[in-house]
Amino acid sequence: MTTPTPTPWNLRVIRLTFFPLISEITNEVDFSNLWQNSLENIEIYSNEFKPKDQQRTIIGYLDNIEYRLEIDPIRINLVIKPKEDILVTENKTVILADLGNTEEVIGNYKTLFSSILEKNSIHFKRIAIGMILHSKGDTREETYKILAKNLPFVKISSTDFKEFRMSLNKDVLVPKIGESIENLLINKITNWAALKLDGALSRDGIEVSLTQSNYAQLELDINTDKSNENDLYEESISINEKLFEYCQSIIKDGLNE
C-alpha cells in the first residue's frame, strides 16, 4: 500500500501562549525580554499599555515578519505572522501571505519557542501552541479534496456543501513528560475550513476585480488542559516538544479518527 503524499501546508500564523500561576502587574514588568533575548536585531515598533484592561501589547518587526506580544493578567501570547496578511499578485490574484512551507519552517519556530521558554522566568500552569495553516487549491473542488484527504472519516464534497467548517477536540492523557510531570491532559483542537478569497482593488479611481483564490485551512490549538493546577515551569521545554510533536503529526497525516 502506497503512503499518501502529505498535504503541502503553508504556515500563516504561529502562537505561543502560557498562563502564569500568579498574575503579574503588566505596567511594571518589561516582558519584551521574553523574545528579544532570542531574536537578534528585532525592531520594536510599539509598546502600549491599557490601564483599564491591564493589557500590554508590544509589536516588533524582523524581516517583514510581525512579532506581537500580548499580555494581560490571565495569559501571555506571542503571535508571529507576516507583516501583510493578504497580497495581490501581478495577475491581480488575491493570495494569503505566509511564513513559508510548514515542513521547512516549523523546526525553526520550535527552536525559537524552546529558547524563549528556557530564558523565561515566569512560572505557569498552562501552555499552548497555536497555528493557522493553508493549502491552496486551483479550484473550490480541489480545496474540498484536500480537506477530505485529511479527514477521511468525514464525507466532504463541494456538491453537497456550499461551505465547510468543522471543529474537533480530541484529548490525550500523557503518562509522563520530562522527569516530574505525570498524567498531563492535552487537548488537540483542530478547525478545518474551505476559504474563498476575492475582492476588488481601486486604481486611479477605477475598481479592478481580483481573481478568486481557494484555500483549505487548518487551525491548530494544542494545549494543556485547564484542569491542571500544577506548576509546569520546570518541564516547559519537554512540554513544548510534545505539543509540537502533536502539531507535526496532524499536519503530516491529518486526522484518522
Using CA atoms, how far apart are residues 215 and 194, in angstroms rounded to an integer? Answer: 6
φ and ψ at residue 66, rounded to 5 degrees: -95, 130
Count how many residues are written for the chain: 257
Half-sphere exposure for 242 (CA within 13 Å, toward CB): 22
Query: Does residue 187 register a pLDDT over 60?
Result: yes
Sort strands 10-20 and 86-88 into parallel, antiparallel or unpaired: unpaired
Give pLDDT, residue 1. 45
- CA 112 to CA 108: how far, in whole Å? 6
φ, ψ dihedrals at 195, nearest 5°: -110, 145
Rounded Cα–Cα distance for residues 215 and 164 (Å) = 11
CA 31 to chain centre: 21
3-state secondary structure of 80: strand
What are the sequence ranges of the domains in the chain? 10-252
Which among 216, 211, 233 has a CA at the least distance from the CA of 118? 233
Q: Are strands 165-177 and 124-137 parallel, antiparallel or unpaired?
A: unpaired
In this model, does residue 257 exceed pLDDT 70?
no
216-253 per-position pLDDT tens digit = 999 999 999 999 988 999 999 999 999 999 999 999 99
Which run of H or of E encompasses 48?
A: strand 43-50
DSSP state of 4: P
- What does the DSSP assignment read for 167-187? EEEEEEEEEEETTTEEEEEEE
Set of cell numbers at residue 96:
494569503
Across residues 162-185, what is the average pLDDT?
93
How many percent of the chain have pLDDT more than 90? Answer: 58
- What pairs with residue 203 in β-bridges? 206
User: For a pLDDT cut of 70, what percent of the chain falls above it?
Assistant: 89
pLDDT, residue 94, reads 80
